[in-house]
Amino acid sequence: MVPSTPPPLLALLALTVLSVSAAPNMTPDYEVKLLMDPSAALNPSDHKLTPTVLSAFGMPTTVTKMNVQFHDTSSKEIYSAGWSPRIRKSEGQDTFELTYKKRYPILGDDIDGTLTTANAQGFDSGDSNYDAQVEWGYSQKTLSISRKKTVSDSGYSGVELPNTSDARKMLVDETPDKFDGWVGDSWGTTKLASARIFGPVLARRSVGTWNKTQVYVEVWPIKDAEGTGVEYIVEASFKTDSRTEAGEKHDALIAFLTGKGWFVAEDSLKAGLIMDRY
Ligand SMILES: *[C@@H]1O[C@H](CO)[C@@H](O)[C@H](O)[C@H]1NC(C)=O
Ligand SMILES: *[C@@H]1O[C@H](CO)[C@@H](O)[C@H](O)[C@H]1NC(C)=O
């Protein structure tokens, strides 16, 4: 007699073994990002934060300048695959910061489901080279998984960024394996070798405090939709390791900004705007 085990039980056992042996999901931190109304938050003359905004967050008048460029082929094949390679130079630093960022849109509040999707694509807690972050906007959340590299800025000064050929070389030299092989062998380096610059955008960051939390307010002058002028994007943000705190303070900061007449009830899509307008 052949002993018969019901197939569903076998399937269940196999599933249990699989889920036990899989590496755990990455643990993200949280960055809440909310838009402020540039016509209310900026001086009309110099497009800097008004004294009222600075004082509400206990911010000094000094800012940190950050110059940022994104890189992609003209048909945006890298962005279409969910990746954003960028080079940033911050005032006072002596290195370029290269970031290779993969985005996963989060459906509703399903942060854990999205981490599981990323896990299935090779991003799990075993890879400490990548950082996971939930970018928590007004109504949408995005999981971003980033690999950061630094490259010496020798030969450059201030917040100067590399030209196209130097940037291509830096990004190709530092390309992480997962990005390179995302679509096929050497996909990433092949695309980067013919990439162009989207940007640059010279942003200004102010740092202050609100509700016992360090808060940043950044002003990003981005080319406007007509391509002839400048649209100022003003974004308030804070970071936390706690999902609960992110949610509570997200709502509290919206209430605070709304009370001041500074809030814009839209999601911030800076990278998308830059990819569209440059
Ligand atoms: C790019 O910048 C480097 C200096 O870092 C310079 O040697 C090179 O000629 C520049 N290339 C172009 C195409 O302008
Ligand atoms: C400060 O943040 C906490 C959550 O951490 C929230 O419950 C509280 O309402 C906030 N306070 C103000 C004044 O917004």
| Cα-to-chain-centroid distance, residue 139 | 16
Nearest to 66 by CA among 224, 189, 216: 216
* Nearest CA, atom 10, ligand 1: 163
Q: What are the phi and psi torsion angles at 174 (to 5°)?
A: -95, 0
The top-level CATH class assigned to 24-277 is: mainly beta
DSSP 237-249: EEEES-HHHHHHH
Q: What are the phi and psi torsion angles at 15 (to 5°)?
A: -65, -40
Per-residue pLDDT, 68: 98
Nearest ligand to the C-alpha atom of residue 96: 1
Per-residue pLDDT, 8: 53
| Helix or strand holding residue 145 (H, E) | strand 141-152
Ligand 1, from 154, 163, 196, 197: best to mutate by most atoms within 8 Å of Cβ? Answer: 163
Per-residue pLDDT, 2: 47
Per-residue pLDDT, 17: 47
* Nearest CA, atom 8, ligand 2: 252
Per-residue pLDDT, 19: 53
Stretches in the chain below the pLDDT threshold 70: 1-21
Nearest-angstrom CA–CA distance, 190 and 239: 35
Per-residue pLDDT, 21: 55
Is the distance from the beta carbon of residue 155 to the nearest atom of ligand 1 less than 6 Å? yes
Number of H helices, E strands in the chain: 10, 10
Beta strands 213-223 and 64-72, pairing class: unpaired
pTM above 0.85, yes or no: yes
Is the distance from the beta carbon of residue 252 to the nearest atom of ligand 2 less than 6 Å? yes
**pLDDT tens digits along 163-180:** 999 999 999 999 999 999
Return the SS3 of 123: coil
Domain ranges within the chain, ordered by starting residue: 24-277
Nearest-angstrom CA–CA distance, 195 and 197: 7
Nearest-angstrom CA–CA distance, 177 and 132: 17
Q: How far is the CA of 211 from the centre of ligand 2 (A)?
A: 6
Per-residue pLDDT, 3: 47
Q: How far is the CA of 25 from the centre of ligand 2 (A)?
A: 29
Helices within the chain (DSSP H only):
7-21, 38-41, 51-56, 77-80, 111-120, 164-174, 177-180, 187-193, 243-260, 270-277
Per-residue pLDDT, 226: 95
**pLDDT tens digits along 1-56:** 444 544 455 455 445 445 555 799 999 999 999 999 999 999 999 999 999 999 99
